Amino acid sequence: MRDLLLAFSQLESQLVEEHGVSLKEAMVLCSIGQETVTASMIVERTGLNPSHISKIIGAVEKRGLLKRQLGEKDKRQMLFTLTEDALTCLQGIRQKGVDVPEFLRPLFGGEKTID
């Protein structure tokens, strides 16, 4: 368990240092991508619980990485899209890749980086 937590901590430290986003923030950004989605879609795609997603959405929105808008058909529905800054961040992660800690490599087919 300790090794798993250390590996995720290393992965997150790298994301923060090189791209300015935490692991959970990167997961949320990746789950949205080029689409316009609801919070429940983000929950479904990330596997995180709604209260965590709500906090993460608030944090990335405050940093200008996420846009919120009302649904056209249902004004009670909130829709989320990425800003240009967020798209640039995702592009940087994809281009540079992320070094996968050795402990997690079997989950990625032994790959050293995630592209």
At 45-86, the pLDDT tens digits run 999 999 999 999 999 999 999 999 987 877 778 999 999 999
What distance in Å separates the CA atoms of residue 59 and residue 7, rounded to the nearest whole number?
24
Q: How many CB atoms lie within 10 A of CB 96?
A: 12
CA angle, residues 109, 89, 60, in degrees to nearest 5: 105
Under DSSP, the state recorded for 73 is S
What distance in Å separates the CA atoms of residue 8 and residue 11, rounded to the nearest whole number?
5
pLDDT (tens digit per residue) in 85-108: 999 999 999 999 888 888 888 887
Closest CA to 53 of 19, 87, 28, 22: 28
Residue 109 has pLDDT above 80, yes or no: no
For the entire predicted model, the pTM comes to: 0.86
